[in-house]
Homo-oligomer: A and B are copies of this chain.
């Protein structure tokens, strides 16, 4: 009988899910709103809505199949415990909550899904780890035992695979490479984690936007970017400007590649991967981000590792990457 795994990607706005076979073909998919259930006391209704929607796409499949498992990618997900622990943007207390203690925002997500799918294996991890497992099962890290996936979206996430296994760490939260410090001076950029100078404040879609605004202050070159207010500015605008030779956009990519490449040289010294895959919105800028990142990575790398580490684009990126990645959490155990 055909085997399918459910992949679920929990984002701040929507939750996407779909049934995926071992070749990475998505058979059917659907989506529910996450935003609608964003408050603490919406959690139970969210789980019910998600499970109902999953049962309904399962019933809609026109052939017999075995559901081999449910893999979930979610922010602040702990692989070891199956919990989502105090996520920054999900199931937050209402303003009038009398006891807004984050230690109460620990959600037994895996158990809650299992309750609706008895006997089915359920596994969870964060979205960057899911992307990394997806690259290993379906994408550009197929067959590799030692590789790293860096997700360059709103923030910078990472999934580090060594000896063929994801590094979850003792507490289940390893791979927070966005929060290594690249500028420990008092002038380092404020990071969403409450500290200053973290890598993701520089190397991410948000980071390069901040760089562009610094450069507009520093440089005198004409640029169409000067017409866009900060709030409307998107990283993709920098690729378009760079295509036209915009000096500020080109310098923003060079600087971002410098910060990221230097930091990746350090990551190579610790883990010596076969490849580093850049994934997510900013990675879609292609040569503009890959070329300086590769150059600064090699330039700053210890001699032992020079010219050994591939810097690759995603092999699964596209509409279904997140669903594929989450389903791969199940498939990697069965292959």
Which A residues lie at the B interface, using CB under 8 A? Answer: 144-147, 158, 160, 162-163, 165, 167-177, 179-181, 184, 193-195, 198, 262, 265-267, 269-274, 300, 302-305, 308-309
Complex contacts, A168 vs chain B, CB 8 Å = 163, 272
A274 touching B170, Cβ below 8 Å: yes
A160 touching B271, Cβ below 8 Å: yes
Complex contacts, A266 vs chain B, CB 8 Å = 180-181, 266
Bound CA–CA A271/B173 (angstroms):
8
Of A144, A147, A304, most B-chain CB atoms within 10 Å: A304
* Known pairs A162-B174, A193-B302; A270 contacts B146 (CB<8 A): no
| Min C-beta distance of A103 to chain B, whole Å | 13
Partner of A271, one of B146, B169, B265, B269: B169
Bound CA–CA A71/B26 (angstroms):
48
Bound CA–CA A160/B168 (angstroms):
13
A-B contacts besides A160-B271, A266-B266, 19 pairs, CB < 8 Å: A144-B170, A146-B169, A147-B170, A167-B167, A169-B271, A169-B273, A170-B272, A170-B273, A170-B308, A174-B270, A174-B272, A175-B272, A176-B302, A177-B269, A179-B269, A193-B302, A195-B300, A198-B302, A270-B271
Q: How many copies does the complex hold?
A: 2
